[in-house]
Structure 1
Amino acid sequence: MDQCCLHHVEFGVKDGSKFAQKLISQYCFKLIATRTSAVAKQWVLTTGRARFLLTEITSDIYEEIIADPYVKIWFDRSRIGTSGSERERNSKLNYDTAFDVAIQVEDIEKCLKKLIDSGVECFRPIQCHTSDQGDVKTATIVSCVGNVKHTLVQSNGYRGLFMPGFVPVTPDDTLNTTSVNGSQSVNNVQLTHVDHVTFVCEMGTLHDVISWYQKHFGMVRFMVNREEDEEDGMVIKGDNIGLRMMAFEYWKCAEVGLVAPSQNQDRITFVLAESLPFQGPNQVDTFLQQHNGPGLQHIALHTPNIISTITGLRQKGVKFAEPPPNYYYEEGKLDEIQKIGLKPELLKSEGILIDMEADADADAKDSEDSHRYLMQKFTQPLFDRDTLFLEIIQRCGASGFGFGNIKALWKSVQAYLSKSGSQNL
């Protein structure tokens, strides 16, 4: 199995089977392995190189849960009760969330020691999982962002599908058959890898989070695009938008012991977002309220053909947050689309956002590099709360995030939340 910086993303869910079926039937994921223990049920799903681990806890006893080597809680211990009445109350607090961004490492002992020595809290020490297909070592540390954790995974030479203890499933498994034998390209849907993940922070804490990852992980800040200020990040104000964003990467962090990717799709980017004061109800604050604090707001999945992928996802029943009606009539937008060589009517019919990099024309007027651009679209929330979204993104030479798209994405999500009533909570 090829190694990459991002090993998997873990979700804590109330109904794992239901959520797995949603990913398979609507997003064309494939179920590859499952695990059942005395305290939890788990599912491993893939699309391209992206791997999602779903965990449903079935026990109410903290000591039993924490004893399971593969299970981590994503909510406060105080929320786990023992009596029937407590369980009933706590079930309302046990929310669905994406909470663990697991990272591949080359030397877990060295990596974990450096993290602990620098002051990082260790949630679970190194454990070795063994099978006839090889060994996998894991350890979990606590991020400074809400309920986010990072599991370190050393799987050098492991030949299995995921990790020891997970049982492979067959293509004709009951869940996989909901997606035509688990095909990952049904209706031309192609989702190849995780492009980036975005964490929502509490207002005023974004710089502290950046500093934490730089100090403990040696991560490298990179500019979202040319409009970004090096100190303040990308700040978007006006028209009911108040957002600050910054981004940083794992791929330059070999000194901490993380696996350096050999291909661009192996690199993983973290994006941070916080709301600005005096903006009124907004999607960042809605997330903080409904998620019970900071956390992972959306996962971006890359596609080599966003038009066919969005069309296919719609056919499978996926609901999207649509861009504002005037997006395609903004000054210069139609010219930009035509310059790239795309059909405005097709992009508009699917509600796909597009941005050419601001400096693309400066370097090579007639070359391929002069048409560096990206296209994006957000889904509606995946859970019963307005928290986690997926983003579908296609990069055509562009490495950052378009300024105009960020505003349009913000407005599309705002429109959905207003319609759903979440902004009135």
Structure 2
Amino acid sequence: MAAPARRLCHVAFHVPTGQPLAKDLHRLFGFQPLAVRETGGWKQLALRSGDAVFLVNEGSGPGEPLYGLDPHHTVASATNLCFDVEDVDGAARALAARGCAVPVPPTSVKDAQGTAIYTVVNSPAGNLSFTLLQRAGYRGSFLPGFRRLPCTPGPCWVSHVDHLTLACTSGSSPTLRRWFQDCLGFCHLPLSPGEDPELGLMVSAGPGRGGLRLTALQIPADSTVPTLVLAESLPGPTNKQDQVEQFLARHRGPGLQHVGLYTPNIMEASEGMMKAGGRFLTPPEAYYQQPGKEEQIIAAGHKPSLLERQGILLDGNKDMFLLQVFTKSLFTEDTFFLELIQRQGATGFGQNNIRALWQSVQEETARAQGA
């Protein structure tokens, strides 16, 4: 591997001036402002919930935003993943030797709290770039060049990033999997017994709906890097676009479709976010009427009526359960959403929940189009 990732530092977004992402993350989803930088035509605001940090780059300037790259993308988008690495200089050389474009060479940034070195590498996943960061000696609250903001108490609904899901073009997952393996040290994480890494997990969305191919990747257990999930559409019997294809069209190519945020209490988190004005997808009515679903929910220690009221999906068996709920898009272009996830022993992603999410998004799209 060229540059083994050790920890996710932050997820960065590029939005136009006035776009409300930063306000929504704070007001609706409980993220607290952490640090800010305003110069050169950019406002960069870092927000945190637990160990999950989002960096919102707003505006545009003559140069690049600090610790990132301006992709000149046509829609608001999640555009950069920043990982801690041990040796930025060595990583940049190794990646360049593999043919990777390194538009920002190793750069040192210093302030009174210490020094950080970073480089930015392009990825084969659309407009998504990767910042590799070396900051072992930095003592500040975020990164050099940013001004720390006053610490204010927040609801603490989210503890960390559980996973990152990329929407990919059909047939591209094997190539992307090899790139993440060779360049950043990811390896295949089977989602079903005996799963072929070249094929991934194929999930049917139901009769007449096509389906998904999911390929999960992870870093060895000594890191705290979230699971990376590659999602691509399986051909269906109709020409109607599914949500991955809709993302590719609206986003103008592959990219980061959603971030899964881990919460220790999904009931409390989703209820708090809803009361604050957060909007969530409504599962299909039939989801909670499936044979055995009520017994499954009770076995997991929850009340079926409460989960249904809040739109929370539950999958699993015995003592291994997974609870998930999904927000509506945070952008008008429908190019990014958040997921809340709580694990009760489960490590996968729940095939029944994937089907329910698929149908929920399809129904939401139909309602938005007046169908």
Q: Is the pair's TM-score, using the shorter chain for normalization, greater than 0.5? A: yes
**Over residues 97-143 of structure 1, what are the superposed CA-to-partner deviations in whole Å (9 max), with x where a residue is unaligned?**
00101111111122222222222211211000011211001101011
Q: Which of residues 167, 170, 174 in structure 1 aligns to 2:147?
A: 167
Matched, 1:242 2:240: no
Q: 1:270 aligns with which of 215, 218, 228?
A: 228
1:125 and 2:105 aligned? yes
**Over residues 212-254 of structure 1, what are the superposed CA-to-partner deviations in whole Å (9 max), with x where a residue is unaligned?**
21222231110123495544211122331421111101345xx
Is 1:184 aligned to 2:164, yes or no?
Answer: no
Please tell me the root mean square deviation across aligned C-alpha atoms, in Å: 2.0
Structure 2 CA distance for aligned equivalents of residues 225 and 309 of structure 1: 29
- Report the equivalent of 1:82: none
Structure with bigger strand share is: 2
User: How far 1:339 moved relative to its partner?
Assistant: 2.0
Give yes or no for the alignment of 1:380 onto 2:349: no
The aligned runs of 1:315-394 (5 Å cut-off) are: 315-356=275-316, 370-394=318-342
1:95 aligns to what? 75
The counterpart of 1:197, out of the listed 164, 177, 183, is: 164
> Segments of 4+ in structure 1 off by > 6 A?
none
Match of 1:301 in 2: 261
Letter in 2 for 1:322: T
Which letter maps to 2:214?
Answer: M
Q: Is the 8 A contact 2:187 2:217 kept in 1?
A: yes
After superposition, the C-alpha distances for 1:166-211 in whole angstroms (9 at most, x for unaligned) are 011224xxxxxxxxxx4321xxx61111000100111111111112
Superposition pairs for residues 401-416 of structure 1, below 5 Å? 401-416=349-364
Confirm or deny: 8 A CA contact 1:28 1:183 kept in the other structure: no
Higher helix proportion: 1
Amino-acid identity (%)? 36
Contact kept, 8 Å, 1:40 with 1:71, in 2: the verdict is no
Hey, what's the Cα distance between the residues in 2 that align with 1:411 and 1:8? 30
Asked if 2 retains the 8 angstrom alpha-carbon contact of 1:16 and 1:41, the reply is no
Correspondence for 1:48: 50
Q: Contact conserved, 1:16 with 1:42, CA < 8 A, in 2? A: no
Tell me if the contact between 2:67 and 2:118 (Cα under 8 Å) persists in the aligned partners: no
CA distance in 1, matches of 2:180, 2:329: 27
Alpha-carbon separation, structure 1, partners of 2:360 and 2:58:
31
> Aligned residue pairs: how many?
363
For the 8 Å contact 2:167–2:244, the answer to whether it is kept is: yes
Partner of 1:292: 252
Alpha-carbon separation, structure 1, partners of 2:256 and 2:225: 18
**2:174·2:198 contact (CA, 8 Å) conserved in 1?**
no
Partner of 1:150: 130
What is the rounded CA distance, in whole Å, between the counterparts of 1:219 and 1:242 in structure 2? Answer: 25
Aligned equivalent of 2:69, options 40, 58, 72: 72
- Secondary structure of 1:122's partner? coil
The corresponding residue for 1:362 is none
Letter in 2 for 1:19: L
Residue type matched to 1:275 in 2? S
Partner residue in 2 for 1:256:
none
Is contact 1:123–1:142 with CA below 8 Å preserved after alignment? yes
Contact 1:69 1:127 in 2 (8 A): no
Give TM-score, length-normalised by structure 1.
Answer: 0.81
- The Cα offsets for residues 43-102 of structure 1, whole Å up to 9 and x where unpaired, read as 01000001111112333xxxx324x544511236xxxxxxxxxxxxxxxxx311001011
Q: Is the 8 A contact 2:117 2:134 kept in 1?
A: yes
Structure 1 position 163, deviation (Å): 1.1
- Asked if structure 2 preserves the Cα contact closer than 8 Å seen for 1:16 and 1:54, the reply is no
Moved more, 383-392 or 111-120: 111-120
**What one-letter code is carried by the residue in structure 1 that aligns with 2:235?**
P
Q: Distance in 2 between matches of 1:339 and 1:56?
A: 46
Asked if structure 1 preserves the Cα contact closer than 8 Å seen for 2:67 and 2:131, the reply is no
- Greater shift in the superposed pair: 346-355 or 231-240: 231-240
Larger Rg: 1 or 2? 1
For structure 1, the residue ranges without an aligned partner over 5 or more in a row are: 77-93, 172-181, 253-259, 358-369
Matched, 1:208 2:175: yes
Q: Are residue 232 (structure 1) and residue 199 (structure 2) matched?
A: yes
Amino acid at match of 1:58: S
Q: Residue 45 of structure 2 aligns to a residue in which SS?
A: strand
Post-superposition Cα deviations, 1:236-273, rounded to whole Å, max 9, x if no partner, equal 22331421111101345xxxxxxx43xxxx33111011
TM-score w.r.t. length of structure 2? 0.92
- Secondary structure (helix, strand or coil) at the match of 1:151 reads strand
Q: State the secondary structure of the residue aligned to 1:327.
A: helix
Q: CA deviation at 1:30?
A: 0.5
- Cα contact 2:188–2:197 (8 A) shared by 1: no
